[in-house]
Amino acid sequence: MRNEPAEVSFEPVAEGHLPMLLAWLSEPHVRQWWGDPDVELGLIRDGCAKGEVDGFVFRVKGEPAGYIQSWVPSEYDEEPWAKDLSGDTPGVDIFIGPPEMTGKGVAAMALRAFAARLFESGAARIVIDPDAGNRRAVRAYAKAGFVPFGEWIDESGRTHLMELKRTEFERNR
């Protein structure tokens, strides 16, 4: 596997990370898009334990900066927008934890490093599904190379569907 940029490193979520993750999930800039911190922490913990998600705390220049996970959207009936995705297309979710690290390009940098890992593991395409109202996230994902491929509207709101293909990623490295 190619090394991540020296600025970004990934640690699989461990029990010792849970208090920090809960604190981050409680920050207004995360809670607005992720929901109830206790519920979300339980989903992260259980998803990692069951192998439903590959969750990581990522660090930038050695400092804890956020959480990122990959998962397989086509395996979830509650994600109807994903029904046509192939089983080898990972989805990615991310948040920046410390508020002072938002708006500084951290998410785009972490996403590119994480995408490199997923592509080197065989993915040909990666998807991400921000709430269409989360403009900061949409901009960060675009900066990382993700482009729109669709939109999903249901009772919970509007989801902006974005993708990053390995061929485009490699071309722009």
CATH number at residue 57: 3.40.630.30
Measured distance CA(57)–CA(10) in Å, rounded: 6
For the chain, what is the largest distance between any 2 Cα atoms, rounded to a whole number of angstroms?
42
CA distance 20 to 9: 17
- Dihedral sign for Cα atoms in the order 136, 152, 35, 133: positive
Look at residue 3 and tell me if it is in a domain.
Answer: no
Q: Give the range of the structural domain holding residue 132, as residue numbers without chain letter.
A: 8-74+81-171
pLDDT, residue 158, reads 85
The first and second tokens of residue 160, run together, are 């902006």
CA atoms within 13 A on the CB side of 137: 22
Q: Does residue 17 lie in a domain region?
A: yes
The DSSP element (H or E) to which 9 belongs, if any, is strand 8-12
Q: Is 112 among the domain residues?
A: yes
Residue 146, domain member (yes or no): yes
Give the Cβ contact number of residue 92 at 10 Å.
25
What per-residue confidence (pLDDT) applies to 1? 38
* Residue 129 and residue 157 in contact, taking contact as beta carbons nearer than 8 Å: no
pLDDT at position 162: 95
Per-residue pLDDT, 5 = 53
Q: What is the pLDDT of residue 163?
A: 96
Tokens standing for residue 52: 């439903």
H/E run at residue 164: strand 157-165
- Note the Cα 3 to chain centre separation in Å: 19
Give the count of domains, the chain.
Answer: 1
Q: What's the pLDDT score for residue 157?
A: 80
In a domain, 126, yes or no: yes
Residue pair 110/65 in contact (Cβ under 8 Å)? The answer is: yes
State residue 84's pLDDT score. 83
Give a yes or no: residue 160 inside a domain. yes
**C-alpha span between 28 and 24 (Å, rounded):** 9
Q: Is residue 158 in a domain? A: yes
| pTM (whole model) above 0.75 | yes
- Determine, yes or no, domain membership for 1: no
> pLDDT (tens digit, 0 to 9) for every residue of the chain, 173 residues total?
344 455 899 999 999 999 999 999 999 999 999 999 999 999 999 999 999 999 999 999 999 999 999 999 988 877 778 888 888 999 999 999 999 999 999 999 999 999 999 999 999 999 999 998 999 999 999 999 999 998 888 777 888 999 999 988 888 77
